[in-house]
């Protein structure tokens, strides 16, 4: 996103000799990554130089660099608020601002810099909205990922099943998926061994259209033994991924330009 931001600025011929562009070029590494900017703040000599350069650009009457940044960010904001609740945008902007404590508060451009990183991050993050049943403990809600790449879900009822029985287990949530994305639901690796159930359809594919408040997610369970599962137990996991492109054209006929591999198992066993 930073490269897009830079290209946007460069399309304005009035900025070609703006001193702000020299400032941006000097600190391009820092501006392209928030952690780099925070690390810059931990280096006293470099951070003092950055602040001095920032003040010089800010006070230069020949520069409208930060005016251009503000215009650009306003356009980004209009795009972001289409998919992300504004309370989260504002909250993350404040958190980002707090992370730049080493930049003096009297520099008005500090908030612009904070917005720059926040908005760019928002445009690269996919937002999902999860509706929970009333009264569930906070720790039962979907948590941010610390380990692994999937998000765990819990059963929202006490479950008793006999061996060979099939049942839809209530996961209690409905999720609004980002446009152009679908969800994959799968058992946790320990579910069969610990709780004696399999996911009957192997994995679940949840289309983007299944995103309404009454589209409650469920786990199709098949019991391989008599089992009891307590309400609140984590039994499955999900992730979101891009849906298949709608530009694919389906044609009928013999595959062109391909040779047979030899059927199932043709790559060998050892």
- CA 116/CA 122 separation, integer angstroms: 10
What does pLDDT average to over the chain? 83
Q: pLDDT-derived band of residue 60, with 50, 70 and 90 as boundaries?
A: confident
Extract the tokens encoding 36: 């780099």
pLDDT tens, residue by residue, 197-211: 999 999 999 999 998
- Assigned token pair, 197: 């159930």
Other CB atoms within 10 A of residue 265 CB? 7
Within 13 A of 203's CA, how many CA atoms are on the CB side? 12
Mean pLDDT value of segment 55-78: 81
> Is the pLDDT assigned to residue 23 strictly greater than 70?
yes
pLDDT at 225 over 90: yes
Q: What is the pLDDT of residue 196?
A: 97
Residues noted as catalytic: 207
Q: Which residues have CB under 8 Å from 79's CB, separation 6+? A: 123
Q: What is the mean pLDDT of residues 111-132?
A: 79
Contacts 24+ apart (CB under 8 A), 190-196: 191/235, 191/236, 192/224, 195/227, 195/229, 195/233, 195/235, 196/161, 196/163, 196/223, 196/224, 196/225, 196/226, 196/227
Nearest to 76 by CA among 24, 180, 181, 5: 5
How far apart (Å, rounded) are the C-alpha atoms in residues 44 and 31? 18
* CB contact set of 143 (below 8 Å; sequence gap of 6+): 151, 152
Please list the residues that pair with 218 across neighbouring strands: 170
- Domains along the sequence of the chain with CATH: 2-124 (no CATH), 129-242 (2.70.40.10)
Residue 226 pLDDT: 98
State the average pLDDT over residues 118-144. 82
Residue 129: pLDDT band with limits 50, 70, 90: confident
Percent of the chain clearing pLDDT 90 (strictly above): 36
């Amino acid at each position: 996103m930073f490269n897009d931001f830079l290209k946007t600025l460069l399309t304005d011929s009035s900025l070609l000799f703006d001193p702000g562009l020299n400032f941006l070029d000097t600190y391009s590494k820092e501006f392209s990554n928030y952690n780099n900017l925070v690390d810059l703040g931990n280096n006293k000599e470099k951070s003092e130089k950055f602040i001095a350069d920032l003040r010089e650009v800010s006070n230069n009457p020949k520069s409208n660099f930060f005016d251009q940044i503000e215009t650009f960010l306003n356009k980004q904001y209009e795009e972001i608020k289409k998919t992300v609740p504004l309370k989260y945008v504002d909250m993350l902007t404040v958190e980002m601002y707090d992370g730049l404590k080493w930049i003096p508060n009297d520099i008005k451009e500090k908030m612009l810099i904070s917005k720059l990183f926040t908005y760019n991050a928002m445009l690269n993050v996919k937002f999902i909205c999860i509706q929970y049943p009333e009264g569930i403990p906070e720790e039962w809600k979907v948590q941010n990922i610390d380990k692994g790449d999937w998000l765990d879900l819990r059963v929202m009822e006490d479950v008793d099943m006999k061996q060979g029985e099939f049942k839809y287990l209530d996961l209690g949530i409905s999720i609004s998926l980002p446009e152009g994305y679908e969800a994959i639901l799968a058992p946790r690796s320990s579910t069969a061994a610990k709780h004696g159930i399999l996911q009957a359809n192997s994995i679940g594919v949840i289309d983007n259209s299944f995103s309404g408040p009454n589209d409650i997610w469920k786990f199709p369970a098949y019991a391989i033994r008599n089992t009891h599962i307590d309400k609140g137990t984590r039994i499955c996991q999900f992730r979101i991924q891009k849906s298949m492109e709608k530009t694919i054209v389906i044609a009928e006929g013999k595959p062109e330009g391909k040779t047979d591999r030899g059927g199932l198992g043709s790559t060998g066993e050892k």
